[in-house]
């Protein structure tokens, strides 16, 4: 066989393999768009959470908190052992909740978009987990599993830029999506409208359907919580601007009276919390004052603009509190 013919055959096989596996070049770490990562989540997802890790790590607040943290030395050991520097190499995390609702055990998958060295990552995981890492083949992709915190965690290296972590079924679902044998989350008609209402330009956002049965359980035995049964979706956004963490949490429901009752209940809890704050903890008062609760015919909204300095003061208090508890 001529050399040029052999070269053409090899290139052709590579191309066929790429198409068959559904590898998405647009999901390459460093150049992928958020939508490219979301397309790896399965259609049965009932909720989606998305974090722009790269942007978050570039904020002064994150940089300061990492370097001043008591565990900074451990953080640097992780960087050295894994070959992954979160500030430079991790770009996005997309989480799809598949089941479990608000009250039960959540099942789902997290797709992490990053630059990584597979051998280094595996070596670090083997060192950290108890027992051996088990492996199984699923449609040509190795799925790993290990015991962690009395639970079994599954993960797979989807390609050179994306790793999926979750329970067995959710990891397999993401592989199916990548290989184009299953639809992605954008084909979920019930969730699509909620996804559209999330501000995807923020550092962290979430959109989820709220199962009616969860709200009914929450209201059982407590009439004050009955208005929660009106809630059918949640949209969350967290961002960082002008040295402030900006929070917007929108609970959607179509009963205006129930929405007012929920807002009144939250404002009442806020007032009670303010009365319980010790005089020597003014940062807690600042935190509460940054929060506002409002309502409209189709939603309840929680807004907060929390200055970085307030969060830093609260964080500075944590070690002291931990020592007191001990």
Q: CA-CA distances (angstroms) from residue 277 to 184, 264, 285, 308, 313?
A: 46, 20, 7, 20, 15
pLDDT at 9: 38
Q: How many CA atoms lie within 13 A of 175 on its CB side?
A: 21
**CA 150 and chain centroid, separation:** 21
pLDDT at 221: 72
- Name residues whose C-beta falls within 8 Å of residue 319's C-beta, 6 or more positions apart in sequence: 70
CA 92, 96, 101, 106 dihedral sign is negative
Q: In which residue are the tokens 């960087």 written?
A: 79
Output b/e per residue, 279-303; b: 16+ Cβ within 10 A: eeeebbebbeebbebebeeebbbbe
pTM of the model: 0.84
Instruction: Give the tokens for residue 245.
Output: 């963490």
- Name residues whose C-beta falls within 8 Å of residue 303's C-beta, 6 or more positions apart in sequence: 247, 248, 291, 292, 293, 294
Task: State the greatest distance between any 2 C-alpha atoms of the chain, in Å, as a whole number.
Answer: 86
Report whether 60 contacts 71 (CB < 8 A): no
pLDDT at 38: 95
Q: Across-strand partners of 300?
A: 251, 295
pLDDT at 326: 43
Instruction: Give the tokens for residue 246.
Output: 């900006």
Cα separation of 148 and 66, whole Å?
24
Dihedral of the alpha carbons of 131, 133, 136, 137, in degrees to the nearest 10: 180
Closest CA to 295 of 268, 271, 259, 249: 259
231: left (phi over 0), alpha (psi -120 to 50) or beta: beta
pLDDT at 67: 82
Cα separation of 212 and 228, whole Å?
9
Closest CA to 235 of 206, 214, 266: 206
pLDDT at 276: 93
- Name residues whose C-beta falls within 8 Å of residue 60's C-beta, 6 or more positions apart in sequence: 243, 308
Write out 2-46 in H/E/C secondary structure.
CHHHHHHHHHHHHHHHHHHHCCCHHHCCCCCCHHHHHCCCECCCC
Dihedral of the alpha carbons of 45, 47, 52, 56, in degrees to the nearest 10: -150
pLDDT at 84: 87
pLDDT at 105: 65
pLDDT at 237: 98
Those residues of the chain that have pLDDT short of 70 are: 1-26, 99-105, 319-326
Report whether 215 contacts 229 (CB < 8 A): yes
Instruction: Give the tokens for residue 164.
Output: 């999926």
Q: How many CA atoms lie within 13 A of 279 on its CB side?
A: 0
pLDDT at 103: 54
């Amino acid at each position: 066989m001529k050399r040029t013919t052999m070269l053409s055959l090899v290139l052709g096989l590579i191309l066929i393999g790429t198409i068959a596996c559904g590898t998405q070049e647009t999901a390459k770490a460093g150049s992928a768009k958020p939508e490219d990562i979301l397309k790896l989540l399965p259609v049965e997802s009932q909720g989606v959470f998305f974090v722009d890790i790269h942007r978050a790590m570039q904020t002064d607040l994150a940089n300061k908190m990492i370097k001043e943290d008591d565990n900074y030395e451990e953080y640097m050991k992780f960087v050295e052992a894994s070959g992954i520097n979160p500030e430079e190499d991790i770009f996005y995390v997309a989480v799809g909740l598949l089941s479990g609702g608000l009250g039960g055990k959540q099942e789902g998958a997290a797709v992490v978009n990053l630059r990584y060295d597979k051998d280094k990552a595996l070596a670090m995981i083997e060192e950290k987990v108890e027992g051996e890492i088990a492996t199984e083949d699923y449609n040509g992709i190795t799925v790993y599993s290990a015991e962690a915190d009395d639970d079994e965690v599954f993960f797979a290296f989807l390609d050179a830029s994306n790793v999926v972590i979750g329970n067995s079924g959710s990891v397999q679902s993401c592989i199916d999506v990548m290989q184009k044998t299953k639809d992605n989350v954008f084909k979920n008609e019930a969730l699509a409208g909620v996804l559209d209402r999330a501000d995807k330009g923020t550092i962290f956002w979430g959109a989820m359907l709220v199962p009616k049965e969860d709200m009914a359980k929450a209201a059982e035995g407590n009439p004050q919580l009955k208005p929660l049964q009106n809630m059918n979706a949640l949209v969350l956004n967290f961002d960082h601007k002008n040295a402030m963490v900006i929070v917007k949490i929108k609970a959607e429901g179509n009963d205006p009276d129930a929405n007012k009752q929920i807002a009144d209940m939250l404002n009442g809890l806020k007032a009670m919390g303010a009365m319980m704050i010790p005089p020597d903890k003014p940062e807690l008062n600042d935190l509460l004052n940054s929060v506002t609760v409002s309502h409209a015919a189709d939603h309840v909204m929680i807004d907060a603009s929390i200055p970085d300095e307030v969060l830093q003061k609260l964080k500075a208090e944590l070690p002291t509190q931990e020592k007191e508890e001990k």
